[in-house]
Each structure stands twice: as C-alpha cells, then as structure tokens.
C-alpha cells in the first residue's frame, strides 16, 4: 500500500498533463483504451525496457519509487533488454505483476515487430491470469511509427484467440488493456477504426478454418459470411448455386462438388468503397470445406487437417470484413468457390474430362488436385464479370509448397520475377512473408493432355508450379496476377507470437496490405 502511494505521488509529478482523452471500445473479450497519463489502479504493469542498466522514463520512476529494487530484480533475473525478451517480476511497485519486455534493436521497430511484441505480451499475461487488467507503457519504445502502441494492441488482439466453442470450459478470459501514450487520438484512431477490424477479420478466418467439416460445408460457409457481414455498408453478397454454375458452364467447380451431399457454391462478396465504375481488385480463395482427396483418396495421416482446406476462402472473407469495416476507399471483389471433395458413387474419377467456363477441357489425373479446378472456374468468372485491375488467388494448394517453404513463407508465384520481387515487400510490410517459386513455359508443357486441352496435374515435380500453371491457364496474360500457395503456413503446429497453434488466419494481413497499396 505504501508503495502504491509513493508511486502515485511520483507519477502525478511525472505526468503533468491531465487525462485528456479516455475512450474505450469493448469487444467480446478484449477492451483497449489509450490514455495520456498513468493510471496505477490495475494489478499488472507492462514496461518496455531497452537498457536495464540505464533506465529511462517510467522505468526510471518505478526504480526510484522502489528504492532501486526494480533494477536489482532485473539484474538478478539476468534481464538483458534484448528484443523479444520477456520477464515477469512479482509484487513490485504496488503491482502484482510487472512484465518487462526487451525492445533493444539496432533499427527502429517495424509494425510486424511491434505486433509480435503485443503477441508476446498477450501470451505472457494469459499464462498468469484468465482475466487480465493491465496498464501498458510504451514510452521507451524505439519505433519510427507514430501508432506504435496501436500496433502492439493489434498484436495482442491477434494473439488473444482461442477456438473453444466445442469445449466445456472456455480458455480465454477478458483482457482490459490501458495504454499510456503521448498521442492518444492517433493511436486510438488507428486501433479502433482500423487495426481492430483487421484482428477481427483474422479471428473470423481462424474460426472458419478451425470449424469441423461436418458443420462447415459450402452453404454453411455462406451463412456464416452473411451473418458476419450483416449491416456493413457498401457490401453486396452474391451466391451462385448449382443451377447458376450450370448456366455458366462451370464444369470444374461442379465436378469437384459432385461427390458430396453438400452442393457446391460460388460465394462472391462485392465491396464498393470507391466510385462504382472503378475496376476492383479481385481476391479468389480456395474453399474446399473438406478434402478427402476424392476417389484419389488421401491416407489417414493428418487428414483431419483438411477441414482447413478452405483457409484461402476464409482469408478472403476475413480481408473483406476488415476493409469494409474500416471503409477503405477501394473496390474489392472476393470470390470463394466452395465445395466438399468426397469419394462417392457419383464423384468424378481420374480420367474423367470436365468442361470449364472458359470453354476448354481438363482431364482429371488426380481427384486430389481439386483446388486448381475450382479456382480455374472462379478466376475465369472473376475476369469475365468484374474486369479487375489485379487478381490474386490464395489457396492451400499443394503439399509441394509446404515442403519447400514450411511455416516461414507462403509460396508466391507470378508470371515474372520482377513483379514477384515487388510483391515480396507487401509480405515484409504486413508480417506475412512470401517467397517466389517459378512459373516456366515447361510447366505449361507438363499439363498438356492427350485427350483434353489440359490435365490437372503433371508428372509430379515441381508440384506448386504445376498447380499454379493450371490456374494461370485461366488468367489473362496481361492482368497483374498473384498466386499464393499457403499449404505450409495456414496451420501452425506450435504457437507463434501473433497466433496460438492451429489456424493462423494467414493472408488477411497480406491481402489487406496489398489492397492498401493499390487503392485508386
């Protein structure tokens, strides 16, 4: 108690400016506020420390008010201040927990680095308590960004997730965070009107990708999206059913969906944030709600993970949610071909030939190479109907991409290397990294069929490029086109800073950044 009073006295002097803005927004289980003066009524304090030997700002104040106990504890625990180092001290300065976060770095911290710090803080705090009330001080941060605190809040929000709807006891409690910052309105605006929607979009993507196949079939996906987008401005949702697909000759999408009792759908979310006539950015995501492999049946090892074979479609939905909620002045159309790939008496077989909307035919070599089939019709439809200025597709397309790049990078394929290099910086900026794989004329040679125009797989290697070549066959050569194969990154086998293990909702931050950079 004595400590609290001593601290409060010092603080009153230290922060001369009174509380100017206090505002908070509550969501299901996170509540973030930005204030401009210290509020020590919380049980947990989070501090950023660069040099434990030369404390500055609030850390210094705390050290003085605790008669140097704070710095003594830091050195007792060998805290170095190195970027990403996190330690929790107990019962110091009147707080139950003081979490110190090292942020020493040669260069000013980037947005993804700040988000990672936020994620680390979330993981550390939730390991202490279910419900969290913390005050977070970022006064010592070495960052160029003005909205650094909002970026930390965003990273916290990203990490503060658990898919516990099927559990009797819910894992996550409520987090109430108070950030003390110099620029309240800027940080508040960045978080409340922008970044929190992005976090919610990522969480929505994870919810969809984590949902079992039995409850998330094509029409169920459509309903979840319609529910989520209810009441959002400038959104129009269009759903093509089997009859509509037949009219459009979408034989590839129809073919993949044929073996399931759940009919396929083509879900389209149109967002018109800019002028009506402005050409949109088209985002097409693979939406296989469960991939058994079909007649080319998969083995049982990890087959359960194929419930997330709609991660691409889920990421497209999550991205549109974020963009529409913040009211970005841009036109974006999201296309989500949805189908369940099942083996059944009426399923397509290897050797079958499917008609596509393009008017060309595809011979099926493997019914397990189904993502490229549904995307072929979807990207063709996207170009015909929407005349986009840019087209991106995102898909858990090949084990080959996962083997090549694992968890660190999504595979990026475009028609030329210079464009790929341009796109790589979107990965760096957004925190979702991509690395190029090639698309060579020989890859198109490999998918020539003896009896149809093309076939859906080649001899095997290089699988990710062959898959991309099938889709590229349906994309106008002059259209800027980005293909992302996220088979390796969509599902985490261990926690990372901004996501607990499981679906990480990969692609929302990437596509969001792509859209930010390509606004009219």
485 binds ligand BES (CB under 6 A): no
| Owner of token pair 């963009």 | 323
Least distance (Å) between residue 293 CB and ligand BES: 6
The span from the first CA to the last CA of the chain, in angstroms, equals 57
Q: What is the CA 360 to chain-centroid distance, rounded?
A: 34
Three-state secondary structure call for residue 284: strand
Least distance (Å) between residue 313 CB and ligand BES: 12
Give the Cα separation of 336 and 377 in Å (integer). Answer: 11
Site string for ligand BES, 20-49 (x = CB under 6 A): ------------------------------
Q: Indicate the residue whose CB is closest to Zn ion.
A: 291
| Owner of token pair 């970022």 | 138
259 binds ligand BES (CB under 6 A): no
363 binds ligand BES (CB under 6 A): no
**Candidate residues 207, 263, 368, 497; the one interacting with ligand BES per rule CB under 6 A:** 368
Indicate which residue of 33, 159, 307, 372 is catalytic.
372
Site string for ligand BES, 378-417 (x = CB under 6 A): ------------------xxxxx-x---------------
Using CB under 6 A, which of the segments 19-27, 101-109, 253-261, 361-369 binds ligand BES? 361-369
Closer Cβ to ligand BES, 269 or 364, answer by number: 364
Give the Cα separation of 183 and 21 in Å (integer). Answer: 10
Give me the count of residues in the chain: 520
61 binds ligand BES (CB under 6 A): no
Least distance (Å) between residue 368 CB and Mn ion: 4
Site string for ligand BES, 271-310 (x = CB under 6 A): --------------------x-----------------x-
| Both tokens assigned to 152 | 């930390």
Residue 394 · residue 283 · CB < 8 Å: yes
Give the Cα separation of 395 and 475 in Å (integer). Answer: 16
- 372 tagged catalytic: yes
Least distance (Å) between residue 296 CB and Zn ion: 11
Bridge-based pairing of strands 481-485 and 353-355 is: unpaired
Q: What is the CA 183 to chain-centroid distance, rounded?
A: 27
Report DSSP letters for 203-259, one per residue.
HHHHHHHHS-TTT--HHHHHHHHHHHHTT-TTEEEEEE-HHHHHHTT-HHHHHHHTT
- 415 tagged catalytic: no
151 binds ligand BES (CB under 6 A): no
Closer Cβ to Mn ion, 268 or 295, answer by number: 295
Q: Which does 268 bind (CB under 5 to 8 A by kind): Zn ion, Mn ion, ligand BES, none?
A: none
DSSP 104: B
Given phi > 0 = left and psi -120 to 50 = alpha, else beta, which region is 291? beta
Least distance (Å) between residue 216 CB and ligand BES: 15
Residues whose CB is less than 8 angstroms from the CB of residue 11 and which lie 6 or more positions away in sequence, other chains included: 37, 38, 40, 61
Give the Cα separation of 324 and 248 in Å (integer). Answer: 28
Q: Which residues bind ligand BES (CB under 6 A)?
A: 291, 309, 366, 368-371, 396-400, 402, 457, 463, 487
Q: Any idea which residues carry the catalytic annotation?
A: 298, 372
């Amino acid at each position: 108690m004595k400590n609290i009073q001593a601290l409060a006295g010092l603080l009153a002097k230290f922060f001369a400016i009174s509380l100017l803005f206090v505002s908070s927004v509550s969501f299901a289980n996170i509540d973030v506020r930005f204030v401009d003066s210290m509020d020590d009524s919380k049980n947990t304090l989070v501090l950023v420390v660069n040099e434990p030997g030369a404390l500055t700002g609030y850390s210094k104040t705390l050290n003085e008010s605790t008669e140097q106990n704070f710095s003594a504890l830091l050195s007792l625990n060998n805290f170095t201040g190195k970027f990403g180092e996190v330690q929790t001290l107990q019962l110091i300065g009147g707080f139950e927990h003081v979490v110190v976060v090292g942020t020493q770095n040669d260069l000013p911290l980037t947005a993804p680095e700040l988000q990672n710090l936020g994620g680390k803080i979330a993981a550390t705090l939730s390991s202490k308590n279910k419900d969290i009330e913390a005050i977070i001080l970022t006064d010592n941060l070495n960052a160029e960004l003005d909205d650094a605190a909002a970026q930390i809040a965003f990273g916290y929000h990203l990490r503060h997730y658990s898919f516990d709807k099927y559990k009797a006891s819910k894992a996550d409690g409520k987090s109430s965070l108070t950030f003390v910052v110099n620029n309240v309105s800027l940080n508040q605006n960045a978080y409340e009107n922008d970044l929190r929607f992005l976090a919610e979009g990522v969480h929505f993507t994870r919810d969809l990708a984590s949902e079992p196949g039995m409850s998330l079939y094509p029409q169920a996906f459509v309903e979840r999206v319609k529910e989520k987008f209810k009441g959002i401005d400038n959104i129009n949702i269009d759903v093509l059913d089997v009859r509509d697909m037949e009219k459009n000759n979408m034989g590839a999408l129809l073919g993949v969906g044929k073996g399931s009792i759940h009919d396929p759908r083509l879900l389209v979310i149109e967002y018109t944030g800019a002028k009506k006539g402005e050409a949109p950015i088209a985002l097409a995501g693979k939406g296989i709600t469960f991939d058994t492999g079909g007649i080319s049946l998969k083995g049982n090892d990890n087959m359960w993970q194929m419930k997330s074979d709609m991660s691409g479609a889920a990421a497209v939905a999550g991205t549109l949610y974020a963009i529409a909620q913040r009211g970005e002045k841009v036109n974006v159309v999201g296309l989500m071909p949805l189908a369940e790939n099942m083996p059944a008496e009426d399923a397509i077989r290897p050797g079958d030939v499917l008609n596509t909307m393009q008017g060309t035919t595809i011979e099926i070599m493997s019914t397990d190479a189904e993502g490229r089939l549904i995307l072929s019709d979807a990207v063709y439809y996207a170009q015909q109907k929407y005349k986009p200025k840019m087209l991106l597709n995102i898909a858990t397309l090949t084990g080959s991409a996962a083997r090549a790049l694992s968890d660190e990078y999504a595979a990026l394929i475009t028609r030329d290397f210079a464009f790929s290099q341009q796109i790589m910086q979107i990965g760096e900026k957004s925190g979702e990294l991509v690395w190029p794989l090639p698309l060579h004329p020989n890859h198109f040679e490999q998918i020539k069929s003896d009896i149809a125009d093309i076939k859906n797989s080649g001899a095997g290697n290089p699988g990710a490029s062959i898959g991309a070549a099938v889709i590229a066959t349906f994309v106008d050569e002059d259209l800027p086109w980005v293909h992302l194969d996220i088979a390796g990154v969509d599902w985490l086998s261990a926690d990372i800073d901004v996501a607990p293990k499981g679906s990480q909702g990969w692609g929302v931050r990437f596509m969001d950044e792509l859209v930010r950079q390509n606004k009219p």
